Amino acid sequence: MVNTCEARWDFRYGGHLAGHTFRPLEVGPYLSQGRAWGQAVAAWHSWNGDTIESRLHAHRVLIETFMEDVHHQRERWVMVPNERIALTLEHLGAMLDDYMSTAEKLGGLIRLEHEYLLPIPSKTGKSSSNRWRFQGFIDGFVVDGNGHDWLVEFKLRTQLTPVRIMRRSRQVRFYAWARQRETGRPIAGVIVDERLNQSANPVQIVGGKAKRPSENVSQITTVRLYRDACAALGTEPTDKMLTALGARQWGQRISVPFRPSQLEEAGRELVSAAQKILELDSGRRYPLRNAQKRLCSWCDFDAICDEPTDDLYAKTLYEFTVAKRDRVDDDEEGSNGDEVRALPRAS
């Protein structure tokens, strides 16, 4: 978070821009969907074999995880309409069915249902810091035929990540560093399984009495649905449609191997991140806003970024909290992704 936008970090942890920190009352719809998706897909992969029971189990996990967020929001008096719940679960359920019908199963996935909160190296690298911790969340891991551990991350995306960008991602390297440091087992790499957050539409049907599937190659559907529509209407699939629909990419699975030197470098990068946070936390460094469409669109604090001291408006959207350095209770809810965090100071 601190490496993408310092102001965003300050709104959640530092409290210098507003005089206090914020905790969103409402879980962002995209964040909630992503959490439910990751849990459901991990549940399916961790089940032995692709059976009806495994698919039903994945759907149960999907519903339970999503409803946990709904319950959490309603406890804070946030309105979550039943219609929105039904539409979201229908959308996620349809994607999950398509995913389980087309994805190759990761055999032997072991789910990890806990977060990492590990001390990062000290400035010298010879010991661990007694102040700074790395917090991360990992979906699971698999052991390959050579006995090497691979972390697995399931992601729901608005668009798929280019492979070259994924290979440079620091988040997956930090996760691998944390897992290796906790277990002492070398991490060979990370497998990132991405799915577009988009459901396939029914095939368009054209014609009068002699109905047939449309040949519109831009329609958002799949080869399977197109073949089913052709079979139902007694027509033959065309090569043009099969080629066009087959080329549409709904997801991808990228394996990112790591050299030992790269994970050592990740530890040094975390030291640098902790040094930046120390400057921000102490007030020696003023938080900078990094306004970018891709960042601001999904930021929890977009609504108050321009006027963070407008308490009357902010209280309609956020719970006011104290800066991380002054918290006695280290119960942080709703965070997502990797963070370098300071341990709270006892009062």
Nearest alpha-carbon partner for 161 in 263, 227, 256, 246: 256
Q: What is the pLDDT of residue 125?
A: 59
Residue 176, CA distances (Å) to 5, 25, 283, 343 in order: 23, 32, 31, 22
Residues in the chain with pLDDT values less than 70: 29-30, 113-114, 123-126, 328-339, 341-347
Q: How many H helices and E strands in the chain? A: 11, 12
Per-residue confidence (pLDDT) for residue 47, from 0 to 100: 92
DSSP per position, 122-178: -TTSSSEEEEEEEEEE--EEEE-TTS-EEEEEEEEESSPPPHHHHHH-HHHHHHHHH
CA dihedral 26, 28, 29, 35 (to 10 degrees): -110
Cα gap 40→154, rounded to integer Å: 10
The kind and range of the H/E element at 59 are: helix 52-75
Crossing angle between the packed helical segments 29-46 and 82-102, to the nearest 10 degrees: 40
- Which residue in the block uniquely carries the two structure tokens 């104290």? 322
Query: Do the beta carbons of residue 191 and residue 110 sit within 8 Å?
Result: no
Residues 6 or more apart from 221 whose CB is under 8 A from it?
200, 201, 202, 203, 204, 245
With residue 264 as reference, give the H or E element that holds it.
helix 260-282
Q: Would the pTM of this model clear 0.95, i.e. be above it? A: no
State both tokens at 136.
């991360």
> Can you give the pLDDT at residue 346?
43
Task: Please give the distance of CA 207 from its chain centroid, rounded to a whole number.
Answer: 43
Cα separation, 89 vs 315, whole angstroms = 29
- pLDDT by residue (tens digit) across 20-77? 999 988 777 667 899 999 999 999 999 988 899 999 999 999 999 999 989 988 888 8
Residue 1 is encoded by which pair of tokens? 């978070």
Helix 29-46 / helix 52-75 crossing angle, nearest 10 deg: 150
| C-alpha to C-alpha distance for 288 and 2, rounded to whole angstroms | 10
User: Residue ranges of the domains in the chain?
Assistant: 1-197+250-347, 205-248
